[in-house]
Structure formats: C-alpha cells, structure tokens
Amino acid sequence: MKAGDTLVRTVTVRAEGLRAMMIPEADFTAPQGVRLYRQDPSLSEETDRNGQSIAGLRKDVASYLFQDAGNYALPAVTVSWFDPASAKTQSATAPAVSVTVSAAAALPPCSCAPPRRSRNAMPSTGCTWL
C-alpha cells in the first residue's frame, strides 16, 4: 500500500434467532494518522420457505485511509450480542491487522516554461501556474 490508499474491512454477522436490527454494530477504531470512514450497515433477514425469520444478517464496512507512510496496527474488531439460546452474552473477534504503507510516488516536475504575458494571448502550455 502507498500513502493515500485505502483498505476496506468488512464484518458480516449472522445471528440465528435474532432480527438483523438487534445485532449490534462492529466497533471499528483507527490508529493515529489513519482516517476511518464507515458505510451505513446492510441489514437483512434469512427466512424459511414460509417467510419466518431464521436469522438476522448485518454487514458493516469501514474504509481506512492511510495519509502517511509507516507501519500501522488496525485494532481487533469485536462484536458482542445476547444469545437467547444460552441466555448469555457472546462475542466474536476479528484479529488485529498489521499494515505497512510506503511513501506515495512524487509527481514529476512540470517541464513547461512559465507562460509569457501578452495583452491578447492566453497561454496554453498544459501546465497550471499559480
């Protein structure tokens, strides 16, 4: 990966006996120097042939934007929920991820000469001059 690139992390939870809206969201966090952008979750129901809900499905997606070169550790992502079958709180964890980001490629210098100032002519050199 290079500085300016993004990494997408997706967590999908299928919970039998629960509606999708009852599945808690994944807890995404980002280290210093990384921007985190969350998408709206995708919620759906798995049903039997009679239309009765069997399980809820929740998909959470987060994009991490790496602004600078370096080594980063994206923290583990944990989802906790109440399991009605065991009457206990359960949890599942996606492991931490190590990411190495290299420096972004430098833009080549503009090889155009500065535009000549003329009263009636507009320069069309292909370079932007500020």
Taking only the tens place, the pLDDT of each residue in 29-57 is 999 989 999 999 999 999 999 988 899 99
| CA-based nearest residue to 58, from 98, 97, 15 | 15
According to the model, what pLDDT value does residue 38 have?
96
Examine the pLDDT at 126 and tell me if it is beyond 80: no
Helices (H) and strands (E) counted in the chain, each on its own, are 0, 8
Residue 58's closest CA among 33, 27, 88, 23?
A: 23
Q: How many CB atoms lie within 10 A of CB 108?
A: 6
Whole-prediction pTM: 0.73
Polymer length in residues for the chain: 130
pLDDT tens column, 62-97 = 999 999 999 999 999 998 877 777 888 888 899 999
CB–CB of 23/44 below 8 Å? Answer: no
Residue 119 scores a pLDDT above 90? no
